[in-house]
Chains A and B, each alone.
Chain A
Amino acid sequence: MSNEQGVKKFDPEKRKTIRFSEPALESIQKIIQRYPAGKQKSAMLPVLHIAQAESDGWLSPEVLDYVAEILGLLPVEVYEVASFYSMYNLKPVGKCVLEVCQTSSCWTRGAEDVVEYIGKKLNIKAGETTSDGMFTLKTVECLGSCGTAPMLQCGAEYHENLTEERIDNLIERYRKEDRRRNYTDLDFVNSN
């Protein structure tokens, strides 16, 4: 896997200040209950998703350390997982990460044009964040939306059959609403 961002340097002072919200800690405890006694490591992936949503959309080494403490694991067990999966951000990202699928069917139906259009519109390249911290543009591999290509994902939301007009509307709406989009958001209902 190529989550090649590398883990940032650990800051013990910052570590002391981190604590997740009560609802987040509650859902983490609920998740741990699913697994047999002693197998709480199984909660790793769902807990990291919660951690990311609690931490401005990215996992700092201090947050990873805190997750290790919650799950009773060595920090390295958490680091190695966080660096393997492409949905965990190991460096800061914008409030809205626009993840454009670029694999075969999407690419056949204009994924490159989508990336170029968004890039020009926001004046950033793939992998970059706008200076106001609102948008990050990212190219990703197949999101299982090949029949409604081209498409992009932002947090929990799938935006399919993209056109320039749809992209314009989407970006305008995100700017207006001005909030962070997380994978764990509950409010998305696919209209397709």
Chain B
Amino acid sequence: MSRKLLLAKDHVPGIRSYDVYRANGGYASVEKALKTMSPEAVTEEVKKSGLRGRGGAGFPTGMKWSFLAKPEGVPRYLVCNADESEPGTFKDRYLMERIPHLLVEGMITSSFALGANTSFIYIRGEYFYVSRILEQAIAEAYANGWLGKNILGSGYDLDLYVQVGAGAYICGEETALLESLEGKRGNPRIKPPFPAVEGLYRCPTVVNNVETIAAVVPIVNDGGEAYAAIGIGRSTGTKLISASGNINKPGVYEIELGLPVEEFLFSDEYCGGIANGKRLKACVPGGSSVPILPEYLVCKTATGDDRLMTYESLSDGGFATGSMLGSGGFIVYDENQCVVRNTWNFSRFYRHESCGQCSPCREGTGWMETVLRRLEKGMGNLDDIDLLVGVAKKIEGNTICPLGDAAAWPVAAAIRHFRHEFEYHVLHAEKVKDPKHGHKEPIMPVKPAPVVA
């Protein structure tokens, strides 16, 4: 059984309410931080913990915090990114819905460390009902003296608000999120300046994912070193994984980083194996933006080592034979799924979600979707495959924000590992006209023959 830090009390009936949460040790990190620690000491513990941003980028949180500019007389802000929209990711919703006070507690402790007196939780609009749960928790926190003026007699003041979005994947990008919070279109800003210098209302701002902020609670309670003792190398602590697709037990699991992928995928404690006794075909381990892995690269790396659930092991082999941990959106495909059709599905998503600011992304996502659609419907030709690779290359690295990369990588990776399936869509056009052709005649990945020196 894996140690659980965030979901340890998930099974406790009524943990959503303040009284039960408090009776189970809730708000201890706020007491400890405000009564016995300086803001710098809290930041120091977060640095020691090795915690990395849980939204997808994996940037060290303590370092991000230490970049925050602190000019005299200028307010600083902490904004929680609860705009969870990466396809395959639903861990933050789970956490906020079930243990909302954990996020509220993390926001108070983190805001104290950063010297923020006003903080926001920006939650995607579709999670409106979750925003109500958070607002209820915040009201309870105010009523019990954890928010407002002079918290615990420490002289520290904090107001915390929930802001709802209105349906835009791009607002999960931190500068687009800040634009949206300012009441504008979610167009990402050019960096620098980074939000740590000019963020919300052009004031120094830290933007952190829900899970990152929640992890600050056990880090402050038990110390950064205890947190860093869990995991392997630079992948410390626990991570929430959203498991979905063709598996027996979809859901949110808290794992210790370093768990073998094979155990996660096949053991009954987690995904419970592929549903309906089918074969594994492919897996997207970190949300829609990361490269897809064919069956033979899911549990083992290209060099034959066990693939582990860590930032490093999942990206072992670079994009040639690896992927990324990303947001922990673990999507599994069985033998009946069509990679071309799935890639088209992702491309349609990115076309829909491109903000339209940068030409390579606005035009490129449209073209990739158009070309993939015709290939998927058996109306493409062999040149289309290289055309897609070319378009993906022209988007990657040429846009203000990473949405362009996120749209390009899945396409490039699908063709890298499943070129024969794209070719099949041209050579057997009649067969693929049936959208469920994969159910009749599964197309499995083909492991390339080893190169003999």
List residues of chain A with CB under 8 Å of any chain B CB: 1-2, 34, 36, 39, 41-46, 48-49, 71, 77, 80-81, 84-88, 102-105, 107-109, 112, 140-149, 153, 156-158, 183-186, 188-190
Contact = CB atoms under 8 A, between A and B. Distances in A.
Interface string B81-120: 0001111111011000100000000000000000000100
Contacts of A49: 125, 128, 164, 166
A158 B90 CA distance: 13
Contacts of A107: 342, 345
B183 A146 contact: no
A188 B161 CA distance: 21
A104 B85 CA distance: 12
B412 interface: no
B231 interface: no
B22 to A, nearest CB: 22
Interface stretch (B43-51, B329-337, B391-399): B329-337
A142 B87 contact: yes
Interface string B39-75: 0000000000000000000000000000000000001
B167 interface: yes
Nearest to B159: A34
Contacts of B132: 156, 186
Nearest to B86: A142
Interface string B343-374: 00110110111111000000000000000000
B352 A1 contact: yes
Contacts of B331: 104-105, 108, 146
Given A48-B166, A49-B166, A146 B244 contact: yes
Which of the listed residues A49, A85, A148, A185 has the most CB atoms from chain B within 10 Å of its own CB?
A85
Given A144-B90, A146-B87, 5 more contacts: A41-B182, A84-B355, A144-B92, A146-B90, A183-B125
A48 B331 CA distance: 34
Contacts of B284: 104
Nearest to A142: B87
| 7 tightest Cβ-Cβ pairs between the two chains A and B | A44-B183, A85-B166, A87-B167, A146-B244, A86-B167, A41-B183, A147-B250
Given A46-B164, A84-B186, A144 B345 contact: no
B258 interface: no
B168 to A, nearest CB: 5
B181 interface: yes
A23 to B, nearest CB: 16
B212 interface: no
Contact of B180 (A43, A45, A87, A105): A45
Contacts of B435: 112
A150 B125 CA distance: 20
A87 to B, nearest CB: 4
13 contacts: A1-B354, A1-B356, A39-B182, A42-B181, A81-B184, A84-B185, A105-B250, A141-B349, A142-B88, A144-B90, A144-B127, A146-B250, A190-B97
Given A46-B163, A105-B245, A148-B250, A84 B168 contact: yes
A91 B425 CA distance: 39
Most buried by B among A42, A80, A146: A146
Contacts of A105: 87-88, 244-245, 250, 331
A64 to B, nearest CB: 13
Contacts of A102: 345
Given A48-B166, A104-B87, A112-B435, A146 B129 contact: no
A186 B129 CA distance: 7
A37 to B, nearest CB: 11
Contact of A42 (B125, B129, B182, B186): B182
B242 interface: yes
Contacts of B183: 41-45, 71, 77, 81
A42 B356 CA distance: 22
Contact of B252 (A1, A81, A147, A183): A147
Contacts of A44: 183-184
B126 interface: yes
Nearest to A82: B166
Contacts of B195: none
Contacts of B348: 141
A107 B87 CA distance: 11
